[in-house]
Amino acid sequence: MKTFKLLINGKWIESSSGEFFTSINPANEKSIGKFQKGNEDDVNQAVDAAKRAYATWKKVPPPKRGEILFKFAQLLRKNKEDLARCVTQEMGKVIAEGRGDVQEAIDTAEYFAAEGRRLLGHTTTSELRDKFSMTVRMPVGVFGLICPWNFPTAIPAWKIMPALICGNTVVFKPATDTPLCATKFIELLQKAGAPPGVVNLITGSGTDVGTPMIRHHDIRGISFTGSKRTGEFIIKEAGMKKVGMELGGKNGIIIMDDADLELALDGVIFGAYGTTGQRCTATSRIIVHEAVKSKFEKMLISRIKKLKLGDGLKTTTDVGPLINKPAADKSHKYVLIGKQEGAKLLCGGNYYGTKGFFYQPTLFTDVAGDMRIAQEEIFGPVLSLIPIKTLDEAIDVMNNIEYGLSSAIYTKDVNSGFKAISEIETGLTYINSSTIGAEVHLPFGGVKGTGHTREAGIHGIDEFSDVKTVYVDYSGKLQKAQIDD
């Protein structure tokens, strides 16, 4: 079994801890690599390297930074199949989704590389004569990036690409479940020409690596995607850093009585069971009009029973494993909770197979909006059907949760669609599409308990830069704004 190293200041080195952990394939529980168990000393070295590199990197013209990102995109494209297979072997998602994960990283690298030719500020008029006013983008400094395991190439790209194009340097901590994907990602970025110290990789636990990063006084920004509980810890510990948070969701699809049910069925299946429900935008609740509830249930059960579970590298597989045993146990715990709460289990509801972390695609019906299975993020293939009578009731149910990431509605009524856009409390709303499908040139993020981050698109630049306001007074005398003359 190969042993992988940390990247600090352009060199691949062993951790000062002298300890290791293994990454395993969730489909068969076989080890796929041995990784450094990083610690606070490693973090300090990485931050020092990033701080030194920042002094030079911030002065590199953004179009030149963009050239490195473009080259990185080309290397991702050249190595797409290898990376996709790595995603499937280490995270578990089916190979088609693994390719999609890598493609999203390619698209993100290309998009932010092009932003090197923009990084737009704005100009405006002054209230005084002979005075010029404008804003410019400034880098923040050293960023600590803490990424989850469910999109092990796409989400690092969401964070690293805008961070670099804005002139920041990076200390990157990947999830302990997907360190191999992160290592391959950073190897290609180094090959693309990222200078020593501009990007540093530290593998290890949240306690040993993440917490020292969050508290480090020379890290000026933190970007985190993960659980709400961890996000709340970061907010308390990060101090005056620039902090971005994306903390999950409990996403719903409204299906009205005039909906195209076949179209809605496709969206629900992909949203609920694609990536085995392990997306922050995964569909967890179906808020269905009582007039079509019975018919849609039958359609959904029929489709669910045809789904094939197995190793994601097999082209016949529809649903892969969960990331680890605790994730499978969590799904099962919520199934038991749903039964105790009085929801009706229509299919699934148990572990699958004797090897790997598989759980049956599960469907509950007659779920009340205040049940725990309708309120709490499960992050597994467990779906709840909640019957409603009106659009107003559907929107109330949709909004009656602590999260606010993604939402969708299936309807042929344009008025209903626009009412949903106006009144649903989420960062994303889809009309006649599933809760998943974000594109890299548009902002991504949520409201309420989901956090306040907007990644991707031009808002990704906002997350990783500061705005400086500049005044040029060429009047030759002291002028006083807001002071009566």
List residues with catalytic annotation. 246, 280
Q: Do residues 84 and 92 lie in contact, with contact meaning Cβ atoms separated by under 8 Å?
A: no
* Phi–psi pair at 359, nearest 5 degrees: -140, 135
Measured from the Cβ of residue 136, the count of other Cβ atoms closer than 10 Å reads 14
Measure the CA–CA gap between 333 and 411, rounded to whole angstroms.
Answer: 34
Residue 37 has which token pair? Answer: 């168990």
State the virtual CA torsion across 334, 335, 341, 347 in degrees, nearest 10. 150
- Helix, strand, coil shares, percent, the chain, to 5: 40, 20, 40
Helix or strand or coil: residue 248? coil
Residues shown for the chain: 485
* Burial status of residue 456 (CB atoms within 10 A of its CB: 0-12, 13-18, 19 or more): buried
DSSP conformation class of 256: -
Beta-bridge partners for 145:
172, 223
349: three-class secondary structure by DSSP: coil
Closest CA to 357 of 276, 273, 268: 276
For residue 353, give the DSSP letter.
S
Answer yes or no: are the C-beta atoms of 290 and 387 closer than 8 Å.
yes
Interatomic CA distance for residues 375 and 250, integer angstroms:
7
Pick the closest to residue 41 from 3, 21, 15 (CA basis).
Answer: 15
